[in-house]
Structure 1
Amino acid sequence: MSTVTVSEFIEAQDVDVWRLLTDLPARAGWLSAVGAVDVLTSGEFGPGTVWCETRVRPDGTAEPEEFVVVEAVAPARLVLSSRGAGVDYRITWTLRTVERRRRGRTEVTVEQEAVPTAAYGRMLALIFGGLAARAVEGALRRDLADLALAAGPRRSAEAA
């Protein structure tokens, strides 16, 4: 198993950050690596919600990823699972209020755990583990930067 964790301070209230994270149809609008989102379940967002998002890789290829909500505790914790080829992923988003001033400030931490489920998944983890961890870290940092930009003060001023 490998785990990659990154954090970012976002100049927004935790409820505003949560709203962005859980508004599935809007994800493609603020996540620069996501080209499309297809919500596969109906009803309110929560455990059991499933969607597929098409992510554009650094080499330009598009790859669909399906996510399932495992846990959703608004506005503090969101746990997702995603099955890969020979690997299962668990992605945990944690939101922690740092300041409650007018705009607020939230520390957002995202952790991705990769658990090989097949022999070739374990072999690939051994061979490419460090390289894969750096690629995952870069993708998570990009997603956090996109989230910070979407939730930031400029967006709130536009909405006002």
Structure 2
Amino acid sequence: MSTVTVSAFIEARDAHLWRLLTDLPARADWLSAVGAVEVLTAGGFAPGTTWRETPAQPDGGAAPEEFEVVEAVAPRRLVLGSRGSGVDYRITWTLRTVERRRRGCTEVTVEQQAVPTGPYGRVLALILGGLAARAVEGALRRDLADLAVAAGPSRSAEAA
């Protein structure tokens, strides 16, 4: 199993960040790596909710990914699952309010665990482990930066 964890302080209240993270149709508006989102289940956002994200890559090189909500404890913890080719992923978002200046601030930690599910996944983990971890870290940092921009001062003030 491989685990990558990154954190950032975002000048926004946890409830506002939670709304951004759980508004599935809007994900493509603020996540630069996502080109489109297709919600696959009916009803509100809760454990069992599934959706497909199509990457925002002009060459179409990456395949769409499906995600499922495994756990949702508003506005503190969101756990997502995704099955890959030979690897299952678990992405955990944790939001913790911190006091900074006059405005609300939230420490956001995102952790991705990759669990090989077959021989192909185990071989890839051995061969590409460090390289893959660095790529995942970069992607998670980009997602946190995108979240910070989406929650920008004017937007988070409106949501407060």
Normalised by the length of structure 1, the TM-score is 0.93
- Secondary structure of the 1:138 match is helix
Tell me how far 1:152 sits from its aligned partner.
1.7
Counterpart residue type for residue 118 of structure 1 = G
Match of 2:112 in 1: 112
Mark the CA change 1:158 to 1:61 in structure 2 (over 3 Å): closer, same or farther.
Answer: farther
Output the CA distance in 1 between the equivalents of 2:150 and 2:48.
26
CA contact (8 A) 1:47 1:71 kept: yes
Match of 2:97 in 1: 97
The answer on 1:28 being equivalent to 2:40 is: no
CA contact (8 A) 2:91 2:112 kept: yes
Task: Name the stretch that deviates more: 61-70 or 89-98.
Answer: 61-70
CA contact (8 A) 1:57 1:63 kept: no
Match of 2:45 in 1: 45
Stretches of structure 2 lacking an aligned partner (at least 5 in a row):
none
Work out the number of aligned pairs and report it: 160
Normalised by the length of structure 2, the TM-score is 0.93
CA contact (8 A) 2:13 2:156 kept: no
Mark the CA change 1:59 to 1:108 in structure 2 (over 3 Å): closer, same or farther.
Answer: farther
Stretches of structure 1 lacking an aligned partner (at least 5 in a row):
none
Mark the CA change 1:159 to 1:5 in structure 2 (over 3 Å): closer, same or farther.
Answer: closer
CA contact (8 A) 1:48 1:69 kept: yes
Tell me how far 1:100 sits from its aligned partner.
7.3
- CA RMSD, Structure 1 to Structure 2 (Å): 2.0
Match of 2:86 in 1: 86
CA contact (8 A) 2:16 2:156 kept: no
Map 1:138-153 onto structure 2 (within 5 A): 138-153=138-153
Cα offsets for 1:113-138 (capped at 9, x unmatched): 00000001001000000000000000
Output the CA distance in 2 between the equivalents of 1:57 and 1:134.
20
